[in-house]
Structure 1
Amino acid sequence: MRIFWTFFWTFLLVNMVTYVVSSMIGVTYHFATGATLAIIATVLILLIAQLIPNDPVHH
């Protein structure tokens, strides 16, 4: 379920950013570009979450 919600929000936010940026620079909005970037961002977010340790660091 965690992966679904991560993908869901990443998909919405990345497509929103893609739309706004493409509008600002005057190019055509492509849904496929936003979807591809959302998949890549989701994988990176989940990978980073796995790399961060959960245990506190003992000095």
Structure 2
Amino acid sequence: GQPTLTHQPPAVTVARVTGAGDCFLAAHLAAELKEMPRDAALRQAVRASAAHVSGKDVP
């Protein structure tokens, strides 16, 4: 199997938490569909979720 990947999310001021997991999953799936490497897909998903939690719009 492949090793377990981890990524530390950036520190953000929390404005909302509803939808954080949905945002994470959507960003991760989009990265996987683009055939990004596993570590890059995880980084993209964590950044997107952090942006969502902070109240920023996620592209």
The TM-score with structure 2 as length reference comes to 0.49
Kindly name which structure, 1 or 2, has the bigger radius of gyration based on alpha carbons.
Answer: 1
User: Counting helix residues as a fraction of each chain, which structure ranks higher?
Assistant: 1
The TM-score with structure 1 as length reference comes to 0.49
Higher relative contact order (CA 8 A, sep 6+): 2
